[in-house]
Chain A
Amino acid sequence: QVQLVESGGGVAQPGGSLRLSCAASGFTFSNSGMHWVRQAPGKGLEWVAFTRYDGNNKYYADSVKGRFTISRDNSKNTLYLQMNSLRPEDTAVYYCAKGGGQLELTNWGQGTLVTVSS
């Protein structure tokens, strides 16, 4: 079955950096687009970024463009999110999700918490 396991969350200072990872199994990772979605405490879901199956096309929400970078290593079945210039408003649980053929998010990880605070 599809399994997505995020890691790398923690506490960072404003202006700092963190790199999140998402280990994928149970499906052909190299054939699937992948998303990052976040959820601030007590708030709704916010789409963050998407990468196509080959990593050649990457897309971002305006709120993170220029600060976050999505990438993938298909040889390791792993998705990444490099987060730079972190702000307190980036505090959230970050989920990775598998993209589907009908532009849906088919499967979700359990999330990893990022806290940006001094």
Chain B
Amino acid sequence: QTVVTQEPSFSVSPGGTVTLTCGLNSGSVSTSYYPSWYQQTPGQAPRTLIYSTNTRSSGVPDRFSGSILGNKAALTITGAQADDESDYYCVLYMGSGIWVFGGGTKLTVL
């Protein structure tokens, strides 16, 4: 069974930089999985941040960036702000019309 892995939680200081990752329980994440990233605050619908590894969705500040780091997809927030405190989810396209979400990372800014 395919499991997409994310750090359960992370903390960053205001103004700091944090990198969240998205991996696979077996194998490496590559651009062929079209990794995308979503931000969700409590009680709200998800918001699309990054797609196709590193393309920012419309209106997303450039302090959010996506990449492949080693064998994982990565979301980097540079100059973290208080309102970046959210849950972050990655999703990978597994082929054959199937997507799998990671378990999400709860980011705290303090």
Residues of A within 8 A of B (CB): 35, 37, 44-47, 50, 57-59, 61, 95, 100, 102-111
Contact = CB atoms under 8 A, between A and B. Distances in A.
Contacts of A100: 51
Contact of B97 (A59, A108, A111): A59
Nearest to B101: A45
Given A46-B101, A103-B52, A110 B38 contact: no
Q: Which of A45, A50, A95, A106 has the largest count of B CB atoms less than 10 A from its CB?
A: A45
Contact of A50 (B46, B97, B100): B97
Interface of B: 34, 36, 38, 40, 45-48, 51-52, 55, 57, 87, 89, 91, 93, 96-104
A104 B97 contact: no
Nearest to A47: B99
Contact of A104 (B36, B40, B96): B36
A4 to B, nearest CB: 9
Contact of A59 (B55, B96, B101): B96
Consensus secondary structure, chain B interface: strand
Nearest to A35: B99
A45 B52 CA distance: 19
A44 B46 contact: no
B99 to A, nearest CB: 4
Nearest to B97: A59
B52 to A, nearest CB: 4
Contacts of B102: 44
B89 A45 contact: yes
B31 to A, nearest CB: 10
B45 A108 contact: yes
Contacts of A35: 99
Contacts of A50: 97, 99
A50 B40 CA distance: 21
Nearest to B51: A104
A44 B104 contact: yes
5 contacts: A35-B99, A47-B98, A104-B34, A105-B46, A107-B48
Contacts of A46: 101
